[in-house]
């Protein structure tokens, strides 16, 4: 089953548009896990177990593993998802951007080494920086379009031939780069009007939407702007607000993550078309 | 000594603008090294020894190590350069692009784990995706501007407020992002007129220039367009043409790399202002 179909199935099976981001900052792990050699894996696998029935995808952020020389633990986490929750799409958040032979190496890293169903990539280097990933026809390529940070406007909001650059990127992907129906876009939740613009351009293409939770995006506006006619079409990503949820009295960190994930999934679902 | 000063010193000490890129594709290594557990390190360290007096920088490409789960060998290669050639700048080619806490993780990976003097980054996410790197004030941040691949034009050549996007990026970096004088730009050798445009915008800012050698950029035109008034200002990068140079009769792979590196350095120097 390819990425887009696997994602659709997960939306339906779990009745959820929530994507849990795995950004394991060592300083924020529970103290008893900080000193363990496999502490990051233990932390993430417990979050995964606690939320797997609530999500449409898991999204580990590779930067956190690279900084800690913990690629072996990322491999274990990816294998854990594939072995235990094979119906849940696994997105490697890596925002890769390079060309030709180098892009092929990044695709191998994401799709073969880590076995990810999809990887995030950067459009700045153009179509031949995206093409190498498309050779893995059952995988997804999620292209940065409109990012949720303030500086996102520096380039993405420039007027490029009459439309903001991010809309030009959305059109390029929808009309040209998405040759085999493998593509999705990253569009931040902090700009709901722009999310609606992208949705109007790309039809039913899936959108990965970071920016709710710690970054402050409004859930009602986000869902209203980004969903497809049948209430699907989005992977709404939350990382820190869920994985570092503040435990209540006698509550375990994974139970706290589950509680916040339920709240977030439900808040999203209240605004979905049915 | 900070990156820009270290680079200037290397230009002068070795009388060279040549940067050797280390892209160790396992299938292209000498056969006796392919099966060795440290084969990639051995290969790269011999290339380094054979060319260290000919270059202004070494530039390992992290994608090749990621695809092979060989980050440990990249660590060893970086340590080898720092220990044996501490006057030669080490550039991690990673083309990172992410924001806030995530960008900080990438900066830690590049500057602390690998001890790189500089890292390549992508401008698409804007100023706050560059800022975290600037906290390491002695390191360099080399920002993609005009890349050497055909698809580079898809975004970089769009008209953005009257100038092509790549020129807008050059202006942003020169006028705003280069707060502490740590920045450089990537500008491909395949477009000499555009290299000249960038040089006119950014003054003496260093330019990392890939695209000669295997990618076909013309050396005379590249040097003419990109050098500063005193014949400096560029790191002209060549990877495959040097590290996979075809050995002649009885010649070792490292000797072949040295021969081609000498030829390339000399071809560059013939066109430099003095």
- Residues of chain B with C-beta less than 8 angstroms from the C-beta of A159: 160-161
Q: Which residues contact B174 (CB under 8 A, 6 or more apart)?
A: B201, B202, B203, B205
Q: Where are the alpha helices (DSSP H) in chain B?
A: 3-13, 31-34, 39-51, 62-67, 71-84, 100-107, 131-134, 153-156, 165-172, 192-202, 219-226, 240-243, 253-269
Q: Indicate the number of domains in chain B.
A: 1
The predicted model gives A167-196 an average pLDDT of 96
Tell me the per-residue pLDDT of A45-62, one tens digit each, with 9 for 90 and over. Answer: 999 999 999 999 999 999
pLDDT at residue B273, rounded to an integer: 87
**Which among B105, B124, B165 has the least Cβ separation from residue A122?**
B124
The predicted model gives A16-31 an average pLDDT of 95
- Residues of chain B with C-beta less than 8 angstroms from the C-beta of A75: 69
Identify the CATH number of the domain in which residue B171 sits: 3.20.20.70
- Residues of chain A with C-beta less than 8 angstroms from the C-beta of B71: 66, 69, 71
Asked whether the beta carbons of residue A165 and residue B161 sit closer than 8 angstroms, the reply is no
**Which among A122, A150, A161 has the least Cβ separation from residue B122?**
A122
Tally the C-alpha atoms within 13 A of residue A157's C-alpha that lie toward its C-beta: 12
Q: Token pair of A23, please? A: 């950004």
Asked whether the beta carbons of residue A95 and residue B122 sit closer than 8 angstroms, the reply is yes
Cα–Cα distance measured from residue B146 to residue B166, given in angstroms and rounded to the nearest whole number: 6
Asked whether the beta carbons of residue A149 and residue B25 sit closer than 8 angstroms, the reply is no
If you count residue pairs, one on A and one on B, with CB atoms under 8 Å apart, how many are there? 169
CA distances to A56, A102, A169, B103 from B93, in Å: 33, 10, 25, 15
Q: List, as own/partner pairs, every contact residues B254-258 make where C-beta atoms lie below 8 angstroms and the sequence separation is at least 24, other chains included.
A: B254/B46, B254/B47, B254/B49, B254/B50, B255/B50, B257/B20, B257/B47, B257/B50, B257/B51, B258/B50, B258/B51, B258/B54
- Residues of chain A with C-beta less than 8 angstroms from the C-beta of B61: 102, 105
Residue with tokens 């497809």: A228
**Which among A63, A126, A154 has the least Cβ separation from residue B98?**
A63
Asked whether the beta carbons of residue B126 and residue A100 sit closer than 8 angstroms, the reply is no
Tell me the per-residue pLDDT of A76-106, one tens digit each, with 9 for 90 and over. Answer: 999 999 999 999 999 999 999 999 899 999 9
Average pLDDT of chain A, as a whole number: 95
pLDDT at residue A212, rounded to an integer: 87
Tell me the per-residue pLDDT of A155-181, one tens digit each, with 9 for 90 and over. Answer: 999 999 899 999 999 999 999 999 999
pLDDT at A274 over 80: no
Q: Which residues contact B232 (CB under 8 A, 6 or more apart)?
A: B8, B11, B17, B204
- Determine how β-strand A18-22 pairs with β-strand A57-60: parallel
The predicted model gives A235-257 an average pLDDT of 94
The predicted model gives A126-153 an average pLDDT of 96
pLDDT at A190 over 90: no
Cα–Cα distance measured from residue B227 to residue B204, given in angstroms and rounded to the nearest whole number: 9
Q: Write out chain B's pLDDT in tens, 274 residues.
A: 899 999 999 999 999 999 999 999 989 999 999 989 999 999 999 999 999 999 999 999 999 999 999 999 999 999 999 999 999 999 999 999 999 899 999 999 999 999 999 999 999 999 999 999 999 999 999 999 999 899 999 999 999 989 999 999 999 999 999 999 999 999 999 889 999 999 999 999 999 999 886 666 799 999 999 999 999 999 999 999 999 998 998 899 999 999 999 999 999 999 998 7
- How far away is chain B from the Cα of A270, in angstroms, using its nearest Cα? 30
Tell me which residue range forms the domain holding A202.
3-270
Active site residue A95: yes
Asked whether the beta carbons of residue B122 and residue A161 sit closer than 8 angstroms, the reply is no
pLDDT at residue B190, rounded to an integer: 86
- How far away is chain A from the Cα of B114, in angstroms, using its nearest Cα? 10
Determine which one of B6, B95, B176, B179 is catalytic. B95
Query: Which among B113, B106, B94, B156 has a CA at the least distance from the CA of B131?
Result: B106
A191 pLDDT band, cuts 50/70/90, is: confident
The predicted model gives A238-257 an average pLDDT of 94
Asked whether the beta carbons of residue A122 and residue B97 sit closer than 8 angstroms, the reply is yes
Asked whether the beta carbons of residue A124 and residue B123 sit closer than 8 angstroms, the reply is yes
Query: Which among A171, A163, A209 has a CA at the least distance from the CA of A189?
Result: A209
Asked whether the beta carbons of residue B113 and residue A150 sit closer than 8 angstroms, the reply is no
Q: What residue in A sits closest to B143 (Cα-Cα)? A: A124
- How far away is chain A from the Cα of B206, in angstroms, using its nearest Cα? 20
């Amino acid at each position: 089953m390819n990425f887009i179909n696997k994602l659709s199935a997960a939306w339906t099976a779990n009745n959820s548009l929530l994507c849990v981001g795995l950004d394991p900052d060592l300083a924020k792990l529970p103290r008893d896990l900080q000193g363990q050699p496999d502490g990051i894996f233990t932390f993430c696998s417990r979050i995964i177990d606690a939320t797997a029935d609530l999500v449409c995808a898991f999204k580990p952020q590779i930067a956190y593993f690279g900084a800690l020389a913990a690629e072996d633990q990322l491999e274990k986490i990816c294998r854990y998802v594939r072995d235990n929750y094979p119906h849940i799409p696994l997105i490697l958040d890596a925002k890769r951007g390079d060309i030709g032979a180098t892009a092929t190496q990044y695709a191998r890293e994401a799709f073969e080494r880590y076995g990810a169903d999809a990887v995030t990539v950067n459009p700045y280097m153009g179509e031949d920086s995206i093409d190498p990933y498309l050779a893995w026809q059952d995988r997804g390529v999620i292209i940065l379009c409109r990012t949720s940070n303030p500086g996102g406007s520096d380039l993405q909001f420039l007027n490029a031939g009459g439309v903001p650059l991010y809309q030009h990127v959305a059109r390029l992907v929808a009309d040209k780069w998405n040759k085999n129906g493998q593509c999705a876009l990253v569009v931040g939740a902090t700009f709901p009007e722009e999310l609606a613009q992208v949705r109007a351009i790309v039809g039913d293409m899936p959108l990965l939407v970071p920016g709710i939770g710690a970054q402050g995006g409004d859930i009602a506006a986000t869902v209203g702007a980004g969903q497809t006619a049948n209430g699907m079409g989005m992977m709404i990503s939350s990382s820190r607000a869920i994985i570092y949820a503040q435990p209540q009295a006698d509550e375990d960190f994974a139970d706290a993550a589950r509680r916040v994930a339920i709240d977030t999934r439900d808040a999203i679902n209240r605004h979905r078309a049915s």
